[in-house]
Amino acid sequence: MSKMRFAILQLGDAIEFVELPSTHMYQLTALNQRLHKELAKLTASNVPNLPRLIAECDQLEIVSPQNSIIHGLEYINQLERTFSSIQEKEYPLISLLTEIRALQAQLEQWYEEEEELA
């Protein structure tokens, strides 16, 4: 099995832990930074609150029963659903969705290949 990394995301007091292949973590970090940069430009009424990626690590042991690890593809799929539901008229949201969907497709392929190897 390939090496995994963990992203630690924070929104207010809430913390999320997302597990991704280490080869794709930099893409999630860059995507999160870009989405935060562009969120302020959106004029829609249903702009989501997006957690900030605050750290990455190679090993993670969660000791709090309130927290769990989110599968990377599950996280990206939810991100895609959230952004595709935004009713934006002024800002070209398609470029953000394209970036999300590109990472989504890469992760789908990665997980398929891992299943074949298992």
Tens-digit pLDDT profile for residues 63-93: 998 999 999 999 999 999 999 999 887 777 8
State the pLDDT at residue 7. Answer: 98
DSSP string, 65-79: TT--EEEHHHHHHHH
pTM: 0.92
State the pLDDT at residue 43. Answer: 87
**53, two tokens:** 């990626």
Q: Tell whether the model's pLDDT for residue 39 goes beyond 60.
A: yes
For the chain, domain boundaries: 4-117
Measured distance between the N- and C-terminal CA atoms of the chain, rounded to whole angstroms? 8
- Count of C-beta atoms within a 10 Å radius of residue 90: 9
